[in-house]
Amino acid sequence: MPILNFMRRPHNELEREGRSAAEVQRDQHEPEKTCPNCHKEQPLSRLWANGNVCSCGYHFRMSARQRIRFLTDKDTFSELFADISSGDPLGFPGYAEKLETVGAASGERDAVICGTAKIGGTDCCMFVMEPYFMMGSMGAVVGEKITRLFEYATEKRMPVLGCTVSGGARMQEGLISLMQMAKTSAAVLRHSEAGLFYLVLLTDPTTGGVTASFAMEGDIIFSEPGATVGFAGARVVEQTTRKALPKGFQTAESLLEHGFVDAILPRSRQREVISNVLRMHSESEGRDAE
Ligand SMILES: [Zn+2]
């Protein structure tokens, strides 16, 4: 896809120039975060002013609501299906308590947030997975909300942007969580058959049943730099195949090389590129991008 070639650069301008984040007033008691890549300590406000990206280019994890605020036009996000929450269908030991503590800690009811928003002036439906709720694992609620979002988008003839982060299917919901792969995929297919556009942004990590279903079903698939994207974990693959894995196995960069990902998109360019791509596809359907 030649139009995407200009984006096939693994480094953004922040990474290349080692430019530091905007200077922000800092509180001397402000907590700092240590970058696992360059080991520099940085105050949270400076990191945040830089989209939660270290000056070395390392992309820190973002909560779903931080990402929504980062990507969408101010005050345009309107949440859908917010009242759905998980039951404990199998009576799995400790699951009900876990849902309660994780819910209190993350402030979310489950591992995905859905809604509509404008990005660069273009309307879209979006779902953003929540890494701080059981590592974005997919149970019945995640499957149901994403399915409903695709059904809503099909009915309203809107594009969907999906930002994925997930440890895979939620083991506490057993087979029910595995069923969500088929259910979400069917909804994605109906949206696609209606001629509508689905854009995926893979973030670190996207694995298991999420990779094996809706994360890899986008018309265009972008990934954040350095993200781990795969199905089974590297150690499991190595033990099963009894072969040494190639360098960079399951990284976004190796997926790009092997054609699973269309472009690596650093955060500094995400709003611009995502809004351009959404606008292009809105116009191709004769929708007014304004
Ligand atoms: Zn760093």
The 10s digit of each residue's pLDDT in 3-41 is: 454 444 444 444 444 444 555 555 677 888 999 999 999
Query: Higher confidence at residue 7 or residue 134?
Result: 134
The 10s digit of each residue's pLDDT in 74-87 is: 999 999 999 999 88
- Which percentage of the chain shows pLDDT scores above 90? 77
- How far away, in angstroms, is 11 Cα from ligand 1 center? 14
State the Cα angle at 267 between 261 and 272, rounded to 5°: 90
Class of the 61-284 domain? alpha beta
- How far away, in angstroms, is 207 Cα from ligand 1 center? 24
- For residue 143, how far is the Cα from the chain centroid? 15
- How far away, in angstroms, is 227 Cα from ligand 1 center? 15
- How far away, in angstroms, is 50 Cα from ligand 1 center? 12
| Mean pLDDT score, 89-100 | 95
Q: Would the CA dihedral through 232, 267, 16, 260 be positive or negative?
A: positive
The 10s digit of each residue's pLDDT in 36-80 is: 999 999 888 888 889 999 999 999 999 999 999 999 999 999 999
Q: How far apart are CA 239 and CA 228, in angstroms?
A: 19
Q: How far apart are CA 217 and CA 223, in angstroms?
A: 13
The 10s digit of each residue's pLDDT in 177-223 is: 999 999 999 999 999 999 999 999 999 999 999 999 999 999 999 99
List CB contacts of 91: < 8 A, sequence separation 6 or more. none
Domain ranges of the chain: 61-284
- How far away, in angstroms, is 37 Cα from ligand 1 center? 5
